[in-house]
Structure 1
Amino acid sequence: MNLLWIILVLLVGVVATHWIAAAAGGRIAPPLIQIAAGAVIGLTTNFGVTLQPELFFLLFLPPLLFLDGWRVPKRDLQDNAAIVLSLAFGLVFFTVLGVGLMLHAILPAMPLPVCFALAAVLSPTDVVAATAMVTHVPIPRRLLRILEGEALFNDASGLVCLRLAVAVMMTGTFPFWPSLGGLAWAAVGGVALGLAFSWAIASVKLWVVARLGENTSSQILISLLNPYGAYVLADAIGCSPVLAAVAAGMMMSWIEVSGQALAVTRIRRNAVWETLQFALNGAIFLLLGEQLPGIMARVDAGAAESGHAGLGWLAIYVLAVIAALAVLRFIWVWISVFIWLRLNKEFAHGQRLPNGRLVLAMSVAGVRGTVTLAGALSLPLFLPDGSAFPSRDLAILIAAGVILGSLILANVGLPRLLKGVPLPQEPRQDQQERMARIEAAKAAIAALGRAGEPQGPEEGRRLAAVALVADYYQHRLAQLQPEVRGAQEEDALHAEERLHVLALRAESAAIVGLVRSHRISSDIARKLLRETDLAEAAFETASED
C-alpha cells in the first residue's frame, strides 16, 4: 500500500475513532480505541508500516512538543517547578535504577545493560498519552499541570539514560563523567537553543512584516516550520532536540501575547495548530496499534530469550514491570510532596502529609506511549562483533505490553480515584481574569475618549457613534459578564464598526501590558486575546461589506 493511502486511512481512522469515543460517552479513552482500531488495520490490511524511530521522532515529536510548550501555563509551571523537575529528572533516574535491577532479578537471561536500557525507555511518561488520558477526567488543576510539565521534560533524561545503557552494552565500558556532562549539555543547550531559535525567527519575521506587510498564510507556515528547525538544529549539535522543541514553544507563547500579529493571523494559526494536534495525536496511537500484530509475531522469540516459553510468562513480566513503575512512582511522588509541604508551610494550609489518594492518582496517571515503543525499537540489531543484540525482541514485547497496560490502568483507575475529590476553585485565576477585563474595558473607553475629541465637519455623527460604542463598554464594565462579546446591529454605521475595532485594539494592548508585567498569566492572556481577536475580525469583516 502506497504512502498516500496510508495517510488517508490514518486520517479517516482518527475521525472515526473520535466518533466512537464520543458515542461511548467518554468511558473509554480515545487512545485505547485508536490502538484497537490500529490493530484491526494491521490485521486486515497490508500496510506493513515500519516504525523507524528516527523518522517517527522527527515527524511527530517536534510539533506536538512545541504546541505543549506553547500552551502550558507558564505561571503554573513556575509555581510547580520544584516538583516537575524532581519528577522529570530525579524520578527518571530512580526508575531506571529500580526497574533495571528488578528486570535483571526476574530475567537473569537479559544482560544488565539491556535491563537498564529497557528501564530507560519505560521511565519517561508520554506527553501525548498523558494529556489524552485526562481529557475527560475531572482532575485538580495543580495535578494536571504537574503531569503536563513532567511529561514535557522527562523524555530528555530518559533518552540520555537509554544512550548510556546502549553504549555500555556495545563497548563494555561505563563512561560516567562524559555521560553526566552530556546530560548537562543536552538539557541546558537544548533549552537555550530552543529559546534563541524561536526568538530569532520571530525577530526576522517582525522585520520583514514591518517592511512588506503581513501575509497570514506565510506567518502560519513559519510557525509550523519553527519546531522542526529547532529540533533538527539541536540534534545536529548534540543538544536535546526534545527540550529544544519545548523551549521553542515556550518562547512562542511569549511572542504570541506581544500583540504583534494581526488578529486574523492569530485566529487562523490557532485553528491550523488545533487541527494538526488532533490529527497527529490520533495518528500516533493508530500507528502504535498497527504495530501490535507484528510485535505479537515475536512472542515465541521473546519467550525463548526470557528462558520461559509461553505468553503467560510474558504477561507476568509485563504486570511486574507495571507494578514496579507504579510503586516507584508512588514512593517518589509521596516523598517529593512531603518535602514540598515542609518547605512551603505557608501554602500547605496546615496539611502535614500528602493526600494519599491524589498521590496514587499521580502514580496511575504516569502512562507510557509511542515514544516508549520507538525507544525500544531504536535498540541496535547487532553488537560490534556482528552477533545479535541480546534480548531485543523481549524488550520490545515488554515495552508494548507496558504501554497497553498503563493506558488501561489509567482509563479504569483515574475516574475511580478522582471520583468525589473536591476540585478547588481557582480564585487567583478568577481574580486575574476579572482584573484584566476591567483594565481592558478602561483602556477601550480611554481610546474612545481620545477618538471623541473634535476633529472635523461631521462631528455630530461621529460623536454619536463614539457615544454608542462607549455606552457598550460602560455597560460591560458594570456587568463584567465572563463571556461577553461585541454585538453589532445590522444597521450599524461603518464609523461605529471602526470605533469598535479601535476599542478592541486598545483592549488587546492593555492585555499585552498586563501579561508582560506579570499581572496575569499567559493562559488568561491567550483566552482574552482570542475573544478580542474574534470580535475584531467580525467587525473588520462587517466594515468591508
Structure 2
Amino acid sequence: MEVFQLILCIIGVVVFSSFISRFIPKVSTPLVQIAMGAIITQVPGFPNASLNPELFMVLFIAPLLYLEAHEIDKSELLKSLKLSLSLAIGLAIATMVAVGVVVHAVWPSVTLAAALALGAALGPTDAVAVSSLGKEASLSLRQLGVLKGESLFNDASGIVGFQFAIAAAITGEFAIGRAAGEFALSFIGGAVYGLVIALLANWLFETVRSLGWETTTTRILMELFLPFMLYLTAEELHVSGILAVVASGLFVRFDRTGIGPNVARTNIVSSS
C-alpha cells in the first residue's frame, strides 16, 4: 500500500508542477518536479516506501522512452542516423570507460565496476537538455536532429551499460571481453525484438480495426499495454528491454485510417 501511495504522490506532484511551470516558463518543468519531489518528502505523513529498481524501470523509464521514440521526427532521424548512433553508442561507452578508469585510478577503493557504473550514469544527455539547448542556441535542423536522435539512443546505451556495471559490482566478477559480448548481444537482441513486436503490433491494430472489432477501451488499453509488455518480455529473454521499447516506438504506427464517429472518437482519445 505504501508503494501505491508513493505513486499517487508522484502523480499529484507531476500535475501540480505542470501548473506551476506555466508561471515560470524559463525554468524547465523537470527541474521544478525535482525540487518539488525533494520538498514533498519532508512533509509529515509522506509514505516511507522505496521502489524496487526494476519496478522503477518498467513503470517510468520504459513508457517514457517509448513515447520519446514514437514522437521523434523519423525523417530527420534517418538522415542523421549514422552520426546519432556513433555519438549515442561510441561516445556514451567512451565516456563510461574514461570516467570509470580515471575514478578507479584516483580512488582505488572504488572498484572498477562501480566506477564504470558512475561513468554510465554521467554519460548520456536527455531530450530535455537537447530541447533547452535548441531554444538557447542557434542550431540548424540537422544539428537538432542529430542531437535528438543521439539523446534517444544514448539513454538506452547508457542504461544497458549501467545495468551491466551494477551487476558486475554486486557479483564482484568483471571480464571486459565477456561484458562487451553480452552488451552487444543485449543491445542488438533488444533492438531486433522491439522491431519484430512493432511489426506484429502494426498488423494487429490494422486487422482489429478493419474487422470492426475495435472499441475505444480496447484500443487504449492495447496501446498502454504495449511498452510494459515489451520491456518485461524482453528482459525475460535476456535482451535489453530499453532497446526493445525504443526500437518498437520508432517503428510502431497506430492505425488512424477509417471513417465514422467511433473511429474518430477512438483516434482523438488515443492521441490524447
TM-score by length of 2: 0.85
Aligned partners of 2:217 and 2:12: how far apart in 1?
26
Residue 506 of structure 1 is matched in structure 2 by none
Distance change >3 Å, CA 135–CA 86, structure 1 → 2:
closer
In terms of mean alpha carbon deviation, does 229-238 or 207-216 score higher?
207-216
1:454-513 Cα shifts (integer Å, max 9, x gaps): xxxxxxxxxxxxxxxxxxxxxxxxxxxxxxxxxxxxxxxxxxxxxxxxxxxxxxxxxxxx
Distance change >3 Å, CA 205–CA 97, structure 1 → 2:
closer
Aligned 8 A contact 1:99 1:116 in 2: yes
Aligned partners of 2:211 and 2:34: how far apart in 1?
49
Deviation at residue 138 of structure 1 after TM alignment: 6.4
Residue 28 of structure 1 is matched in structure 2 by 27
1:280-316 Cα shifts (integer Å, max 9, x gaps): xxxxxxxxxxxxxxxxxxxxxxxxxxxxxxxxxxxxx
Aligned 8 A contact 1:157 1:183 in 2: no
**RMSD value, Cα:** 2.7
Aligned 8 A contact 1:130 1:148 in 2: no
Residue 40 of structure 2 is matched in structure 1 by 41
Aligned partners of 1:165 and 1:34: how far apart in 2?
28
Distance change >3 Å, CA 6–CA 50, structure 1 → 2:
closer
Distance change >3 Å, CA 260–CA 88, structure 1 → 2:
farther
1:422-460 Cα shifts (integer Å, max 9, x gaps): xxxxxxxxxxxxxxxxxxxxxxxxxxxxxxxxxxxxxxx
Residue 149 of structure 2 is matched in structure 1 by 149
Residue 55 of structure 1 is matched in structure 2 by 55
Q: What is the DSSP-based 3-state SS (H/G/I as helix, E as strand, rest coil) of the residue aligned with 1:59?
A: helix
Aligned 8 A contact 1:29 1:132 in 2: no
Show the 5 A alignment for 1:473-484: none
Distance change >3 Å, CA 64–CA 41, structure 1 → 2:
same
Aligned 8 A contact 1:17 1:33 in 2: yes
Aligned partners of 1:4 and 1:239: how far apart in 2?
29
Aligned partners of 1:124 and 1:10: how far apart in 2?
24
Show the 5 A alignment for 1:303-382: none
- In structure 2, the gaps of 5 or more residues are none
Residue 100 of structure 2 is matched in structure 1 by 100
Aligned 8 A contact 1:198 1:230 in 2: no
Distance change >3 Å, CA 166–CA 268, structure 1 → 2:
closer
Residue 197 of structure 2 is matched in structure 1 by 197
Query: Partner letter of residue 38 of structure 2?
Result: A
Aligned 8 A contact 1:190 1:234 in 2: yes
Show the 5 A alignment for 1:34-183: 34-45=33-44, 46-127=46-127, 129-130=128-129, 133=132, 137=136, 140=139, 141-166=141-166, 168-169=168-169, 173-183=173-183
Residue 441 of structure 1 is matched in structure 2 by none
- In structure 1, the gaps of 5 or more residues are 272-545
Identical counterparts, % of pairs: 34
Distance change >3 Å, CA 2–CA 181, structure 1 → 2:
closer
Residue 270 of structure 1 is matched in structure 2 by 271
Aligned 8 A contact 1:130 1:147 in 2: no
TM-score by length of 1: 0.45
Deviation at residue 133 of structure 1 after TM alignment: 4.3
Query: Partner letter of residue 53 of structure 1?
Result: P
Aligned partners of 1:21 and 1:220: how far apart in 2?
28
Q: What is the DSSP-based 3-state SS (H/G/I as helix, E as strand, rest coil) of the residue aligned with 1:48?
A: coil
Deviation at residue 266 of structure 1 after TM alignment: 2.2
Aligned 8 A contact 2:101 2:116 in 1: yes
